Amino acid sequence: MIEIKGLCKSFEDKTVLKDIDAYFENGKTNLIIGQSGSGKTVLIKCIVGLLTPEKGEVLYDGRNLIQMGKKEKNQLRREMGMIFQSAALFDSMSVFENVMFPLNMFSNDTLRERARRAMFCLDRVNLSEAKDKYPGEISGGMQKRVAIARAIALNPQYLFCDEPNSGLDPKTSLIIDDLIHDITREYNMTTIINTHDMNSVMGIGEKVIYIYEGHKEWEGTKNDIFTSTNERLNNFIFASDLLQKVKEVEVQSLEG
Ligand SMILES: Nc1ncnc2c1ncn2[C@@H]1O[C@H](COP(=O)(O)OP(=O)(O)OP(=O)(O)O)[C@@H](O)[C@H]1O
């Protein structure tokens, strides 16, 4: 579990995060949502240690990241998998070599064991047949799947995904969402996803945190969203006519 307590972050005189408390459980997909500029990326960067907050705690199963020394932080980083907005694969390496990369950097296993692990991860995302291709030769959705295989290669306890669906069509986005959701359960990981994608919220939002102008405005499950009376949340989620219709149908079925 990851817990954050009283997190505050400013840049010069601009306060971006205001006293955020939240917890993210194992085996669940936790989503951070909010308008552009509300502070989601800064929050996730504080959680993974790329930014240091002025105040607050970031606890990884009780271990406070903010107070860790360099050695302990490096150890913790090995327990983290990350999937960035652009899949951020190495273009000059094959799919297989991309997945081998973290294993070659951090694992003490033999070459044979590392190769077996890389193939296992590629198989898990249904890409073993593309192992010799290069990122430029495969689709955006396949690149994201390679990024997922690479992120889980070291068997992380914590998985962070920044806009995993950016640039993907709705159907491919669903495949990526389901994959992240299934893997989270299978490995009992703590997964935090930063997203704008309302389909993701409705599909895999086991826990949703809504950030508004740097503070936590609301939290709940995807089902709680339909019955929430929080006006800011409603304005944000049900901005489109289509989602407004979905809400009406959902509320009717809850009432009936
Ligand atoms: N390094 C920085 N220096 C100064 N201001 C920053 C820095 N990083 C972020 N900010 C500011 O913090 C605020 C929140 O930015 P952030 O990137 O977290 O928003 P976001 O919710 O992730 O937006 P989006 O959904 O568009 O990615 C913005 O006003 C941004 O300009």
pLDDT value at 87 more than 70: no
What's 164's domain CATH number? Answer: 3.40.50.300
Question: For ligand 1, is residue 41 a contact (CB within 6 Å)?
Answer: yes
> 168 exposed, middle or buried (CB, 10 Å; 0-12, 13-18, 19+)?
buried
> What is the 162 CA–ligand 1 centroid distance (Å)?
13
- Tell me what pLDDT residue 200 has: 86
Average pLDDT, the chain: 91
Cβ atoms of 153 and 80 closer than 8 Å: no
**Distance from C-alpha of 25 to C-alpha of 96, rounded to nearest angstrom:** 31
The closest-lying atom of ligand 1 relative to the alpha carbon of residue 38 is: 21
pLDDT value at 86 more than 70: no
- 3-state DSSP call for residue 212? strand
- Tell me what pLDDT residue 172 has: 85
Percentage of residues in the chain having pLDDT higher than 70: 98
Residue 256 within a domain:
no
Residue 238 within a domain:
no
Residue 253 within a domain:
no
> What is the 129 CA–ligand 1 centroid distance (Å)?
39
pLDDT value at 247 more than 80: no
Higher pLDDT, 256 or 13: 13
Contacts of 87 (CB under 8 A, 6+ apart): 135, 140, 143, 144, 146, 147
**Distance from C-alpha of 91 to C-alpha of 79, rounded to nearest angstrom:** 25
> What is the 93 CA–ligand 1 centroid distance (Å)?
32
**How do residues 33-58 score in pLDDT, each as one tens digit?**
999 999 999 999 999 999 999 999 99
DSSP 8-class letter at 213: T
Residue 252 within a domain:
no
Q: Among the ranges 79-93, 182-196, 240-254, which has the highest mean pLDDT value?
A: 182-196
- Tell me what pLDDT residue 163 has: 87
pLDDT value at 245 more than 80: no
Residue 11 within a domain:
yes
Q: What is the mean pLDDT of residues 223-232?
A: 91
Question: For ligand 1, is residue 42 a contact (CB within 6 Å)?
Answer: yes
> What is the 116 CA–ligand 1 centroid distance (Å)?
40
Return the residue whose CA atom lies nearest to atom 14 of ligand 1: 39
**Distance from C-alpha of 47 to C-alpha of 1, rounded to nearest angstrom:** 12
Q: What are phi and psi of 209, to 5 degrees?
A: -115, 125
**How do residues 89-131 score in pLDDT, each as one tens digit?**
899 999 999 999 999 998 899 999 999 999 999 988 888 999 9
Instruction: Using most ligand atoms within 8 A of CB, pick from 18, 41, 86, 193 the residue to mutate for ligand 1.
Output: 41
**How do residues 61-80 score in pLDDT, each as one tens digit?**
999 999 999 999 989 998 99
Residue 41 within a domain:
yes
Residue 254 within a domain:
no
pLDDT value at 240 more than 80: no
> What is the 173 CA–ligand 1 centroid distance (Å)?
24
**Distance from C-alpha of 14 to C-alpha of 126, rounded to nearest angstrom:** 45
Contacts of 220 (CB under 8 A, 6+ apart): 207, 208, 228
Question: For ligand 1, is residue 16 a contact (CB within 6 Å)?
Answer: yes
Domain of 189 in residue numbering reads as 2-220
**How do residues 150-164 score in pLDDT, each as one tens digit?**
999 999 999 999 888
Tokens of 17: 């995060």
Count up the domains in the chain and report the number. 1
pLDDT value at 224 more than 80: yes
What ipTM was estimated for this complex?
0.97
Residue 247 within a domain:
no
Q: What is the mean pLDDT of residues 222-226?
A: 89
- Residue 77, CA atoms < 13 Å, CB-side half-sphere: 13
The closest-lying atom of ligand 1 relative to the alpha carbon of residue 214 is: 14
Q: Which of 33-37, 82-86, 133-137, 145-149 has the lowest mean pLDDT?
A: 82-86
